[in-house]
Amino acid sequence: MSGIRINPSVLSADFVNMQADLDRIAAADFVHVDVMDNHFVPNLTFGPQMVQRIQETSPVPLDVHLMIDDPERWAPGYAELGAASVTFHLEASSEPVALARRLRAIGARAGVAVKPGTPAESLYDVLDEFDQILVMTVEPGFGGQSFMPETMPKLAALAAEARRHGSAVWLQVDGGISASTIAQAAEAGADTFVAGSAVFGADDPDLAIAALRAGAASAHAHAH
């Protein structure tokens, strides 16, 4: 198992004081940026201009999560802005492997996300086409939702398949990740954790990040 990554979600940041909030998470590995289009999910966040400003001011690399229709059209632009990682939804993509290859060619890590109800088997044969698989642990669209433990068997199955393939793909979870749920996700095989309010809502985000990291590391030690 490679390292543990903690990626705070800007959905929980103060949009008016974004730079100050970004400076509070310098201990994180990436900052998770949720782009929603009010079509693929019933919520609207921001687009390329805002992401570009976050890119210019963030102390850590960007992990962009596109909850949008037609990622073939829009995803490459986020890679071109300099995002370190760009994740699109399997459910929205017409050519996921071709899109992942295009993102990698631009220089970003290519990620693919699956909603709670989407089976993971469709990804088994193409694991190595992606640098990251995001297993949504809530229905995408809104921050602050409760973690869905019923998504853990899918995560564990993906982790087992990745091991079988000798794949280096990162397994990310997003939704309801906190000090009380991170161990469950880590035991099931996640190594990359999106946390929103658990980090930005803390008095000391650095301490919160360290606590999440320690919780995941401890769970990994027990699981292996």
Pick from 203, 169, 173, 183: nearest CA to 24: 203
Name the average pLDDT for the chain.
96
Residues 22, 172: Cα–Cα separation, whole Å:
21
Q: Which helix (H) or strand (E) holds 74?
A: helix 71-80
Write down the catalytic residue from 29, 34, 63, 191: 34
Residues 5-52: tens digit of each pLDDT: 999 999 999 999 999 999 999 999 999 999 999 999 999 999 999 999
> What residue spans define the domains of the chain?
5-223
Q: Which residue is associated with the tokens 């994740």?
A: 87
Q: What is the pTM of this model?
A: 0.96
125 catalytic per annotation: no
The two three-digit tokens of residue 46, written as one number: 């921001």
174 catalytic per annotation: yes
Answer whether CATH 3.20.20.70 is correct for domain 5-223.
yes
Write down the catalytic residue from 21, 29, 63, 174: 174
Q: Which helix (H) or strand (E) holds 198?
A: helix 197-200
Give the contacts of 51 (CB within 8 A, at least 6 positions apart). 33, 35, 62, 64, 78, 81, 83
Residues 112-158: tens digit of each pLDDT: 999 999 999 989 999 999 999 999 999 998 878 899 999 999 999 99
The two three-digit tokens of residue 183, written as one number: 């161990």
